[in-house]
Chains A and B, each alone.
Chain A
């Protein structure tokens, strides 16, 4: 007996319209910067406009990447179940190569405390999770601050932890930061509001929980992903 094809779910949380809005804003900015640049005779100001456009475009590219990552992390994304035994410390250690330049540019001390932790997981999804936590830390921590990436086993559970000594997240905002497009009011940083939603989605696909608390000494934020085994 064949089942009728699944009806695509509606867009209950208005995700698509949120996403479209998020795209329209920088695109509108690009359009007006471009129009000004076309009529700009002064070379210095033209150069400044081009630099602005390049930065705006970086934001659009980042958003497109994050939307794709979110779509792929969702259950039912049609991905093969390529779960395999893997080492969290190996995945996180490679962030030293990929993200050190970003940390150096922001004058943030990016450090690692990695202990052996093997789990069954999808390596590229967990890398995406870790990247989002680290970039979140680097984006919201002030120059001169510290971001520390940890993994290991605690009470019989594997974990990933990213701690910063930035401004932290007020307690009443902590449950909301994982919502799509939610940004903490008044926060600095130039994220698009999807990074932590991606973290939550990927954690859920690994039957892991994710939570945030204050860091050491009540300062900053500490994100912890705790796996079921």
Chain B
């Protein structure tokens, strides 16, 4: 995974570069929009992190220009400006997401993953959470490379949980998402119970969120 960091503050850029490299990204750093242009033209960037306040051409203009040229690389704005107008302006210009400084690295990494995942989802219909993979077109679930056998209702629940991940899946949407008729709360509980038993050995839990629904969680290695 190759990330472009467009940031003119060298201290911030160094922190980003080191942190991203530690998370397994190959990182290219650009201090100006024209340097970033060159990196984009080489065509091997998977995701870009763009600061707004740049010398010469600002980040918003850069993003708008890239989108006008048909560049579809996911772009995430990282900036100290955090008013609603700035945020809306950034998304309108074609950015995929918006994060304000100061930021937390785990959140930045999660948003980068989400931006890349969204782009892939549009083309491949594959949804991945850790070793779990679901094909949204064929509705087949895989664990690593192996086919993961589930009853139809369990599969529908898991698909909804994975679609909502890392957020919560609303109870009311658990089956609606997958297109089957509405089920009684009791039937949902039974499916959740069975799914919990099958997922536990794989290091996954399903948390009940009181009044909302459920959330798929990957047990962190201690």
Interface set of A (CB-CB < 8 Å, partner B): 57, 61, 68, 72, 82, 93, 96-97, 100, 104, 109-114, 124, 148
Contacts and interface: CB of A to CB of B under 8 A. Distances in A.
Interface string B20-33: 00000000000000
A111 B166 CA distance: 18
B212 A112 contact: yes
A144 B74 CA distance: 41
Contact of B168 (A72, A100, A124): A100
B209 interface: yes
B84 A124 contact: yes
A110 B210 contact: yes
A100 B84 contact: no
Given A61-B102, A124-B84, A112 B167 contact: no
A112 B211 contact: yes
Nearest to A113: B211
Contact of A109 (B84, B166, B210, B215): B210
Best-buried of B82, B83, B211, B215 by chain A (most CB within 10 Å): B211
B167 A97 contact: yes
A110 B215 CA distance: 13
Interface of B: 82-84, 102, 166-168, 170, 207, 209-212, 215
Interface SS of chain B: loop
29 contacts: A57-B102, A61-B102, A68-B82, A72-B83, A82-B84, A93-B170, A93-B212, A96-B167, A96-B168, A96-B209, A96-B212, A97-B166, A97-B167, A100-B168, A100-B207, A104-B207, A109-B210, A110-B210, A111-B210, A111-B211, A111-B212, A112-B210, A112-B211, A112-B212, A113-B211, A114-B211, A124-B84, A148-B210, A148-B211
Nearest to A57: B102
A214 B108 CA distance: 39
Given A109-B210, A111-B211, 8 more contacts: A61-B102, A93-B212, A96-B212, A97-B166, A100-B215, A110-B209, A112-B212, A148-B210
A61 B80 CA distance: 12
A111 B102 contact: no
Contacts of A109: 210
A72 B167 CA distance: 29
A67 to B, nearest CB: 13
Contacts of A124: 84
A96 B207 CA distance: 12
Contacts of B211: 111-114, 148
Contacts of B209: 96, 100, 110-112
A159 to B, nearest CB: 16
A114 B210 CA distance: 11
Nearest to B106: A101
Contacts of B166: 97
7 interchain residue pairs of minimum CB distance: A111-B210, A112-B211, A97-B167, A96-B212, A96-B168, A111-B211, A61-B102
Contacts of A61: 102
Contacts of B83: 72
Contacts of B212: 93, 96, 111-112
B19 to A, nearest CB: 13
A72 B82 CA distance: 12
